[in-house]
Structures are given as C-alpha cells and as structure tokens.
Amino acid sequence: MHPLESLFNPQSVAVIGASHHEGKIGNIVVHNIIVSGYKGKIYLINPKGGKILGLPVYKSIDDIPSVDVAVIVVPAKIAVEMADKVASKAKYIIVITSGFSEIGNIDMEQKLVESARKHGSRILGPNVFGIFSSKAPINATFGPAEIKKGNIGVISQSGALGIAMIGKAAEDNLGLSAIVSIGNKADLSEVEILSYLFQDELTKVIFMYIEGLENGHEFMEIVKKKPEEKKIIALKAGRSRAGARAVASHTGSLAGSDEIFDAAFRQAGILRADSLEDAFNWVATIAASPPPKGENVVIITNGGGLGVIAADACEKYGLKLYDDMEMLQKIFEDVMPEFGSYKNPVDLTGQAGAREYELALRRAFENDAIHAILALYCERGDAELESLMNTLIRVHKEYEGKKPALYALFGGEGTTKIVTEMKKDRIPAFYEVEDAVSSLHVLYKAYEKREEEEIEDIEMDDDAIRKIIDAAINEGRSRLLSHEAKEILLHAGLDVPPFRLAGNIDEAIEYANEIGYPVAMKVVSEDIIHKTDVGGVVLNVENDEEAIDAYELIMKNCHMHARRARIEGIEITKMLPPGTETIVGATTDASFGKVLMFGLGGIYVEVLKDVSFRIAPISKKEAEKMVREIDSYPILAGIRGEKRKDINAIIDSIYRIGILVNKFGEISELDINPLIVYEKGAKVVDARIMIKVKK
C-alpha cells in the first residue's frame, strides 16, 4: 500500500475549526465532505460544541479518537498552538490556513512541521484549498461542492487557480481522479503526490501547475519512475529569465530558470503547455483518447480552406497526413461527390451534411490504415446542425476507444453549441482548428516511445582530476587556470590539442618547437578573464622569431592593461585550422543541480541564444537530441555543399562533460568555448572551469 493511501482514501477525518456559519471556510469544507458521499467517520471540532450541518461537534480534539486526516481551518496562530495535539491524533494534516511562509512567517510554518515530525505525521500545505480524491470519495476542499469523477489527477501549487480549475473542469465535463493543492509545500511536495498518482489505478493523465521546484533533483528521479501509461502535462508559471544571478560563465548566464525547466520537462517526457487553454485541451484529449496505433492521420472536411489550415498545422507539428491516394479513394469512394477530393485533406465539399459525415467517419474508423482522425466542419447557413451534432456524437461513441478522433467546428452560434455538447460527452472537440491539431500532436507525443538508455560510466583519470581540483581548493582559488581546465578535460577524455605553459622566452621557444608551428600564445593569469581585451593573445605564430616577439608583446600589454595581474606564464598551443565553432558548457542550478548546455559559437550563442539544455548526467541519445535540437543544426549536418561535421564527436564531448560534472560536484561552472568541430573530430580550444570553494 502506498504511504499516502490514508491521505487519498481516509477512513476518518477531523475538521479543526468546523464553523457554525454558512459561507465560512470551516463550514464549506464540512458541507463538501458530506455531499461528496464520504463514507468514513467525520469528527468536527469547535469549542462552542453543538451541531454543524446535522453532525455533532466535539469541543476539544482530546475528545476524539485518532484519525487518518485532520483538516485545519482555524486562524494561523491557533493552528500553530494546536499543531502538537492535532499531530498526536492525525496521520495527515491538511492546513488550509494561510498566513505562513507565503507572507514571511517562516518560523510559524517551521513549528507546524516540527509538531508533525514529532508525532510522525505529515502536512499538506499550509495555505492550500484542500484535497479531492475520487477513490474515497472525499471532497475536503472549500472549492465547488460538486466535482466530477474521472481519470485526471491535478496537482496545483496555486490555490486560487486550483479552485478555478475545478470550475473549468466542470464546465468542460472533465472528470477528476484527484485534485491536490500543495501550497507552501512545508512538508509534502509534488514529488510524493506524483508517486501516489503514478500507482493510482484511477489516474491516467496528471496535470500539474507549477510555480517553482525546490527539489528538482528528486522531481527528476520520481518522474523517471513514471509508468509508461501515465501522462503528465505541466503548466509552469513565469517564463522570465533568471534575473541577476552571479554567474561567471557563458553557460550560467544563458541558463535561466525557465530554460532549465524546459529542459527538465523535455528530458522527463513531461508535456509543457504555455497556457491554461492549451493545458485543458491537451489533458481532455489524452484523457478521452486511446493511443494512436500508427502515424497516418486523415483530415475530413467540408471546406477546402479549413482543410488547408489543418494540413499546414499538421506540417508545423510534424503530423503525417496519410497519402496513399489509391487507398484513400477506395476508403471514401462511396461518400465522395464527383467533384470531391480524395487527396488528404479529404474534402467532402460544402454540400456534405450529417449523412456524409457519418459515412466518412465510419469509413475512417473502420479502416486500419488510418490511425487518427481529424474531422473539421465549417458552418453553412442552411445546414441542419442539430442532426449533424447528434450524428457526430453517436458515431464517435460507437467507435470510441478504437482510434483517436478529434473534431474542430468553425462558425457561429450553431457550431459553438455542437462543440459544447460534444465536450459534455467527453469528446475532444474544439472551436479552433489549430487547437485540435496541437492536441493531436500532443497525444502523439504523449505516446512516443521513450528509449531509456543507460548512462555508462566512462574511463577518466579520476585521480589526476581530483588532484587539480584539490590543489585549487587548498589555495582558495575558485577559478581554475586555463591549463588546469584543459588538463581536466584531457583526463576526462576530450580531444585537447597539445598545450604547454611557458614561464620564460626560452621555454616558449622550446615548447613551440615541440608542439610544432604555427602556434597560438595566450597569457595565463587568474586575474585576467578576458585575455584578448588586454592584448594577451597572439595567434598564428610561425617561427622562433615571431614567438619571441609575441612573448614580449603579450608581457608588455599585460603590464600596461592589467598592471596588478599575477601572471603564471604563457600558454603555447597548436594553432588549429578553421572549423565550426561550438560551445559546450555546464552550470549548477539551485534546484536541478548540474545542467548541460550546447550551442554553436559566435553570434549563434551571443545574439541568437540558440542553445539547448539538459539536466546532467545524460545518455548519449539525450546528448544527440541536444545537438539536433538547436535551430542552427543544419550547419552541423552540412548545408550548401558543406560537408557534415563530426556530430558523434560533439555528442561524445557533451556526454563526457555530463559525467565529469556529475562525478566532481565541486565543478560549479564549465565552458568549452569554442569546441571546434571538423569533418572528423572536435577539439577543445579554450576552456574555463569554476569550482566551488567552501568558505
């Protein structure tokens, strides 16, 4: 039995602060519990005693036996005073009361948690609207009394929005398996609620409204355990950037919290909606549709224009329109007027009414070559909409569960009514074509096979890496020197061209000859971050004479522009031929931990911010997705006669960085900028690594 079973299916409930006054929250909760058909024991607590809604009231919590759930609806101060006693009686405490950490009363919230811990109880909230669970059934919320039962589980961080969602679900006739308000998440968070819903046989789709996650890492862990058949749609509020975070790397400055959420959701197979409207459409579609058995979509329409709009949208979302003309003709032969078109979108033409739609839908439902149906209807002035509506609903119900069928009806009052009625029958129907297509797309995405690929540990010289990091930590340095960063990458198995640190001119010449001209020469100093800005870099050094000049020039520039900088020496590296510059990086997110980034260098990253992110560590498959995901991917894949770049070498580099930063938690930020990619191989040119030094 899941540990949260008693919260979702309690045998007994106490309401602390049950109110005698109609309209008060403590009265509504009692009313909702009663009318929800709850069959367990109900204990109402109020010092005034008497009766509330026909139930006896206990004057003190001392007077009742232990319960599975206690709902607290007394003001915050009293809630804290009573917490210890309540915790001694209840396994789960739902604290509806507001006035805790959300307004800065952190200590009061902490006291609630301490009381619960002392007695081994758990807290939902505070600052929540309660819980509805269709399993019990119980509606212990102060939202609408009537909640329809169904297969959608909702977790909402916002109370007000959660209550509004109950209303909207009722309007769209969506049935809920549970709705849980998590509020301030003082104790129970979305992680545990998810783990319950994953094993709850009543829940098929989970809809989450999230404002922020404090425990991104645990969240990812639990979502990885999601059973294949459960689907999650999330609406995350706040698309804004991370704001003024102190970051020292490119990756860090690009990794806003929203980008990281996006990456985490993508990685976890969570479908992210941008608006409540989309979220509801998607949830309704998944809740009401069987999985598609193949990729062939057929559009049935009575208007060419509507068909074209849908076909365009299908292309945008990557849905495949079934295009076997011969088969299409065979399937729809007896439905189509002579001037109709078999080409998908199948155009039944403007004269099509209920009869034609019935036949066409039957053909589409019955033929196994068609895997999903998008039926569109454009209102005509003289059409008999009533019979069309009845037909669509009847035929859909007859074939329900056979294959996904979505409907979009466009026009005036008449078609609006049809859509509303179809929704009432839990049929995925929409007022806009685009909404229908995007919902079908999400349905396909929800059932995409997720290939779990093992993350294998790869050989790295751990001891050598540890030595470099420890040395810097001992010296209290958080920024590794260029050659140290490169050494780490070399030990991690990346392709780092030969480099040496020269402490004087003689060494510079010796190393340049050893590496082989042409070489690049760069100043190495912890105090100089932007080497080029101070004239600390000379490229294409061809011979000894030029090496001497370059050495002297760099030293002179640094003395002039960075007088106080401590100079460790000059790094001599092999001058590389031009290739495609990319950037691979890692940063640390407070919630999710290590985050990886990939993008093309130069303007692609600086101006277009065309980068992709993932939470580390990742599999090679995921690294490949990161590379393919950027808009400028065609540049790597080879365009206009350019040869394809060595994408496997990039994947390998990202993969290794993922393992490196995960293994060595002290690496807080890392940039390889650029990693130059060739037709064969990818080489590290410049690297920057920051480590976390404990103060």
List contacts with ligand COA (CB under 6 A).
16-17, 19-21, 24-26, 45-48, 73-75, 78, 82, 96-99, 127-129, 159, 181
**DSSP letter for each residue of 543-585:** SHHHHHHHHHHHHHHHHHHSTTPPP-EEEEEEPPPP-EEEEEE
For residue 179, which amino acid is it?
Answer: I
CB of 135 to ligand COA, least distance (A): 22
CB of 184 to ligand COA, least distance (A): 9
How far, CA to CA in Å, does 134 sit from each of 42, 140, 299, 605? 17, 11, 37, 49
In the complex with ligand COA, which residue's Cβ is closer, 79 or 197? 79
Element (DSSP H or E) covering residue 675 = strand 667-677
In the complex with ligand COA, which residue's Cβ is closer, 100 or 407? 100
Token readout for 343 is 């080409």
CB of 160 to ligand COA, least distance (A): 6
CB of 10 to ligand COA, least distance (A): 19
Token readout for 106 is 């952190």
In the complex with ligand COA, which residue's Cβ is closer, 37 or 50? 50
By beta carbon distance, the residue nearest ligand COA is 159
| Residue 598, C-beta contacts closer than 8 angstroms, at least 6 positions apart | 582, 583, 584, 585, 611, 612, 623, 626, 627, 630, 650, 654
CB of 265 to ligand COA, least distance (A): 24
How far, CA to CA in Å, does 657 sit from each of 424, 526, 529, 600? 51, 23, 22, 17
d(CA 414, CA 416): 5
CB of 51 to ligand COA, least distance (A): 11
Q: Which residues pair with 583 in a beta bridge?
A: 599
**Inter-residue contact 619 to 680 (CB < 8 Å):** no
In the complex with ligand COA, which residue's Cβ is closer, 47 or 641? 47
In the complex with ligand COA, which residue's Cβ is closer, 42 or 583? 42
CB of 54 to ligand COA, least distance (A): 15
In the complex with ligand COA, which residue's Cβ is closer, 82 or 136? 82
* SS3 of residue 5 by DSSP: helix
In the complex with ligand COA, which residue's Cβ is closer, 209 or 664? 209
In the complex with ligand COA, which residue's Cβ is closer, 186 or 264? 186
CB of 148 to ligand COA, least distance (A): 21
CB of 205 to ligand COA, least distance (A): 23
CB of 438 to ligand COA, least distance (A): 30
Give residue 76's region: left, alpha or beta (phi > 0; psi -120 to 50): alpha
Residue with the two structure tokens 């690294």? 623
CA–CA–CA angle 346, 350, 353 (5° rounding): 90
d(CA 420, CA 424): 6
How far, CA to CA in Å, does 543 sit from each of 23, 517, 520, 551? 88, 6, 11, 12
In the complex with ligand COA, which residue's Cβ is closer, 32 or 619? 32
In the complex with ligand COA, which residue's Cβ is closer, 110 or 420? 110
d(CA 504, CA 131): 72
**Inter-residue contact 579 to 601 (CB < 8 Å):** no
CB of 181 to ligand COA, least distance (A): 6
Q: Is residue 301 exposed (0-12), middle (13-18) or buried (19+ Cβ within 10 Å)? A: buried
CB of 113 to ligand COA, least distance (A): 17
For residue 176, which amino acid is it?
Answer: L
In the complex with ligand COA, which residue's Cβ is closer, 47 or 227? 47
**Inter-residue contact 580 to 676 (CB < 8 Å):** yes
**Inter-residue contact 167 to 174 (CB < 8 Å):** no
CB of 94 to ligand COA, least distance (A): 11
**DSSP letter for each residue of 228-277:** TT-EEEEEE-------S----SHHHHH--HHHHHHHHHHHHTPEEESSHH
**What number of other Cβ atoms are within 10 A of residue 440's Cβ?**
27
CA–CA–CA angle 416, 314, 151 (5° rounding): 60
CB of 185 to ligand COA, least distance (A): 13
In the complex with ligand COA, which residue's Cβ is closer, 46 or 582? 46
In the complex with ligand COA, which residue's Cβ is closer, 15 or 138? 15
In the complex with ligand COA, which residue's Cβ is closer, 98 or 349? 98
In the complex with ligand COA, which residue's Cβ is closer, 98 or 387? 98
In the complex with ligand COA, which residue's Cβ is closer, 75 or 638? 75
For residues 639, 645, 647 and 653, what is the CA-based torsion angle, rounded to 10 degrees? -140
d(CA 316, CA 592): 31
DSSP secondary-structure letter at 66?
Answer: -
For residue 314, which amino acid is it?
Answer: C
CB of 133 to ligand COA, least distance (A): 17
d(CA 608, CA 379): 43
Residue with the two structure tokens 């977790």? 155
Taking only Cα atoms into account, the Rg of the chain, rounded to an integer number of angstroms, comes to: 32
CB of 141 to ligand COA, least distance (A): 9
Q: Minimal CA–CA distance to 401: which of 294, 530, 288?
A: 288
In the complex with ligand COA, which residue's Cβ is closer, 138 or 446? 138
CB of 111 to ligand COA, least distance (A): 16
